[in-house]
A and B are shown apart, each in its own frame.
Chain A
Amino acid sequence: MEAFLTGFDSLMQPGVLLAIVIGSVGGLIIGAVPGIGPAIAIAILLPATVFLDDLVSLVLLLGVYGSSMYGGAIPAILINTPGTPVNALTTYDGYAMTRRGEASRALSLAYSASFFGGCFSIIMALVALFVFGPYLRDLGALFGQRDILMAAVLGGVLLIVAHRQTMGLAALLFGFGFLIAMIGRQSTRQIDRYTFDIEYLYSGFNLIVVIVGIFALSQALNLMVGKDDDPPEARITGGLLSGFREIAGRKIITLCSAIYGTIMGIIPGVGEFVAQFFSYSTARSLSKEPARFGHGSPEGLIASETSNNAVPAAAMIPLLALGVPGEALTAMMMVVFFDAGIKPGPDIFENNPDFLFSLFIALLIINGLVLATLLVSTKWIAKMVYIPNRFLGAFIMILSFVGVYSIRNSLTDCIFAVVFGFIGFVLRRLEWPLVPIVLGLVLGSIIVERLTAGAGQIKSAVDLINRPVSGTLFVMILMVIGFIIWTSLKNRRMNYQN
């Protein structure tokens, strides 16, 4: 309880509260503008966090992360264009409801379902902290360097496997990110790795430079060479409060979707898409009107919005508990931890329990604030949809410059950011996934760091997996790989027979 109160108290500083407001409202607007998305916004904001207090930085990024999916539902429902990729399923039923003249009902359902999903996973995390807090403090002893190493390897394997149709590409780009993380002078032995005697490369690539280039600059270029969309006009009439009453009448579907979102958020590399699919399929099987799914079913809308908003709080759990990010946005937040000198991991339960409470309480406040903002200002936020793409691209480019240049006033940083931006642009044009690069960067750094730190305890190769946690994780890795091989062989046999 003391940690809870300390955590709550640290949020009550003007700077932190301002960051919550800016992050939430900013994330909401960013989510509502198709073409930006939270990853680009976080990439642009990352350099600014270097100059801010740790908690202020994290709360700002959490605000963007936690609120962007609320905003993304607006264009998905009104103009059939998902604001963020995870709102794609929302268009199925949301836009169909708009065409039936039920835009306000769809928006209201989306807001209330999102709010329920978001709060559900946060409350679950807080309850877990209260109930298991004393036991979680012993986790530090249970998790050593080799266990975290295995968790990072499992995260990488799950990420590659999650790109089911493009596993080769995902592995290639993960390896590319890993390689970028390797470049530089090894700190312990002062041996250069792939520096080619270029002085700039001795200290390695700055993570922020790479992330801003790959995510923000690449999208700026992509938008500027593309065409502007011509979204249809959307009208919102009527109140937005009826959704809560409606989701109360569909308790089982709402609850199942929130549980799916929470569980899938915890598993590294899985995330919102899989959570949505599980919850959407389950909702359809539970519904009395399954035929309406995809044609304006309120239950379909509830399932997709509840599950995707349950993910952000849940995705923070592997990041905080193991120090292993599960997807791109938490990987970017990891950079803030690196800069702040905080090492997320099992020790955090022992050393900074109040910090954990601060983050989850902040997420709870963000959800409330976002809902309140939406209820009074949806009409104005919906106008953001009409900002032309290429105009947005120009300003993402200007903002990217601020980010890169401000790190250390280096022109070379800017040149490398442009190089990575151009690489990201080519990858976007080819529709190659970008997320594995960022996770390769972050997980690669973790793998090498933990391998080096834990090397002292490794007498033989078996020592890598002879601890309870590392052994279990290793078995899980083998099971995942085995499952993929088995399903590939099965598919090949079926194709051959057909």
Chain B
Amino acid sequence: MAVQQDPSKVQDLYFFDEASPFVTGMHFQSECPPDKKVKVEDLFKFSRSRGDLQASIVAAMIALFFLAFFWTQTGWDKRKLPDEFGIYLAHQFGLVDIEGRITRFGRILKQSWIAPLLCLVILVPAALWNLRASWKETAWRKRFLLPTSAYFELTKYVAALEFVAYFIGYTVIVPILGYLLSTLILGTFLTWRLGYRGPRWVLTGFVSAFAVVLAFRTFLQIKTPLDIWLYNQLPDAQRALMLTYF
């Protein structure tokens, strides 16, 4: 049953509509103070969110992929190991004595497959351990009827791909239009695309893009392509100026 609030205090509270996961049609309201308290323990607390299981499966598959290619992609086929490697290893840990000349351990450590092996020793068990933990968490969430669908996360990934496309488009047009013009176009367009469509915001986007060019290209002289189609259409003096500063 909802508790009646003093109307003068209500404006200081946020109300959230919530629903019980167990009983359909039973909505209620909860409140929290207007300052969303930053909880330091939240920085350390880790809870697996939606999409975690799918990501853990991909991570485990990547780890197993690299494990599968260990034998062909790390120089393992060109390895130089002593005969009876098991006995040699036991000797390294002082478990057995070997007579005669013994291969230096350093000669083995220098080989190209050692570093990937060390890496896989960390990566593969960790990926499988993580997958197990994520699997258990998902099973727990299902049991308590908590959301497990990764659809929402997927929509965010797709939304991000749009900006990835703009970034790649930008890298393609820089050698054609030059750094200055491309940056001004992208800076202004992104400002508009993100919903800041008033003239003040569009101008801010334009000026900020110009400031980036001035700071990085004109002042810090960061390298950009030398063969720019648009600059090549300019007379020599202007072309040199544009190539040097913009």
Contact = CB atoms under 8 A, between A and B. Distances in A.
Interface of A: 47-48, 51-52, 76, 80-82, 85, 88-89, 91-92, 95, 99, 164-166, 168-169, 171-172, 174-176, 178-179, 182, 186, 188-189, 191-196, 217, 220-222, 224-225, 273, 277, 388, 390-391, 393-395, 397-402, 405-409, 411, 414-415, 418, 421-422, 425-426, 429-432, 444, 447-448, 451-452, 454-463
Interface string B211-224: 01000110011111
Contacts of A456: 106
A452 B110 contact: yes
B205 A394 contact: yes
A182 B111 CA distance: 13
Contact of B126 (A99, A168, A222): A168
Interface string B187-202: 1001100111000010
Contact of B44 (A51, A95, A164, A191): A164
A444 B40 CA distance: 31
7 contacts: A178-B122, A179-B120, A224-B190, A394-B205, A395-B187, A457-B106, A462-B94
A458 B108 CA distance: 10
Contact of B105 (A47, A176, A461): A461
Nearest to B223: A406
Contact of A80 (B35, B112, B190, B209): B35
A192 B73 CA distance: 7
Interface string B37-62: 11010011111110110010001001
B115 A451 contact: yes
Contact of A171 (B36, B55, B126): B126
What 4 A-B pairs come out closest when comparing CB atoms?
A175-B123, A455-B106, A458-B106, A171-B126
A456 B110 CA distance: 9
Contact of B73 (A81, A178, A196, A401): A196
Given A182-B119, A399-B212, A429-B51, A88 B40 contact: yes
Given A194-B74, A394-B187, A402 B222 contact: yes
Contacts of B46: 165-166, 169, 431
A51 B223 CA distance: 9
A463 to B, nearest CB: 7
Given A415-B171, A430-B52, 17 more contacts: A48-B216, A48-B220, A169-B126, A179-B116, A182-B115, A192-B75, A194-B66, A194-B69, A194-B73, A225-B156, A390-B196, A398-B186, A399-B212, A431-B49, A456-B106, A463-B105, A463-B106
A225 B63 CA distance: 29
B219 to A, nearest CB: 10
Contacts of A461: 92-93, 105
B160 A225 contact: yes
A176 B60 CA distance: 11
Nearest to A189: B112
Interface residues of B, number: 90
B153 interface: yes
B174 to A, nearest CB: 7
Contacts of B205: 391, 394
Nearest to B115: A448
A466 to B, nearest CB: 12
Nearest to A194: B73
Contact of B127 (A92, A172, A390): A172
Contact of A176 (B110, B123, B160): B123
Interface in B83-129: 91-94, 102, 104-107, 109-116, 118-120, 122-127, 129
Contact of A91 (B38, B78, B111, B112): B38
A273 B45 CA distance: 13
Interface stretch (B140-148, B161-169, B231-239): B161-169
B156 A429 contact: yes
Given A172-B127, A399-B212, A459-B105, A186 B223 contact: no
A274 to B, nearest CB: 10
B123 A182 contact: no
A405 B170 CA distance: 11
A117 B123 CA distance: 38
B74 A398 contact: no
A369 to B, nearest CB: 20
Contacts of A460: 91-92, 102, 104-105
B75 A189 contact: yes
A193 B75 contact: yes
A398 B209 contact: yes
B7 interface: no
A216 to B, nearest CB: 11
Given A431-B46, A448-B115, A459 B38 contact: no
